[in-house]
Amino acid sequence: MKEKISDLLADNECTHVLYAYQDREKYLKNALTYILEGIEMGETVILIENERNMNVLQKQLNSHLTSDELEKVHSISNFDFYQSSGSYHPPAIYENLMKTITPYLEKKASFRSWTNVEWGTLEDPCSIIDWFETETDRVVHEHNLTVVCAYDSVKMPDHLEDALKKNHGHLMSDENILSSKVYSKPISQ
């Protein structure tokens, strides 16, 4: 998978990847690969992740990176990121996203992002997640960013996955990365 991630990033100035994962161990391995490759390329990595996965990744990163390199991994609790307003509220999440990336944009610092999207107890998150991901895709293209949005496929309703394929240029599984055949690139504003 490392070669597929490397090839994707080498061939695309910016990309918005939908990662529908099924196997937590493979997910963690792919996240680690993405993070390490970013650090190797001199980038900062914004990691928005749940505590359970963050603890595992942090142990692995500690064994692979120097203290200076570890400082280039900016970790954020996905619970804090997505629930900052007390619930999954897309405008608040979008504001959080912009607050997180603006310092890097202002410094023209190279960075990439890996986000584990979770929506708590919300029963049908499709419309609000679709809105947020559409806005994220616009930002990705406006600023030439590389962003992976990971979703646990077991918890993701089929209609949500179908909607997300339309606002992510690439689709990733535990084993592969492909271009989305139904992707609609955002119109520049």
Structural domains in the chain plus CATH codes: 2-179 (3.40.50.300)
**Better-scored residue on pLDDT, 174 or 9:** 174
Q: Are 17 and 148 in contact (CB under 8 A)?
A: yes
pLDDT score recorded for residue 189: 45
pLDDT band for position 118 (cuts 50, 70, 90) = confident
pTM score, two decimals?
Answer: 0.90
Return d(Cα 89, Cα 74) in angstroms, integer: 23
Structure tokens at 62: 């500690």
In whole angstroms, give the CA distance from residue 125 to residue 174: 23
Q: CA–CA separation, 104 vs 182, rounded Å?
A: 31
pLDDT at position 89 = 66
Q: State the residue for tokens 């090839």.
A: 7
Locate 175 and state its tokens.
């084993």
Cross-strand pairs, 76: 48
Separation between Cα atoms, residue 44 and residue 54, nearest integer Å: 16
- The pLDDT confidence band at residue 120, using thresholds 50, 70 and 90, is low
pLDDT in tens, 60-83: 999 999 999 999 999 999 988 877
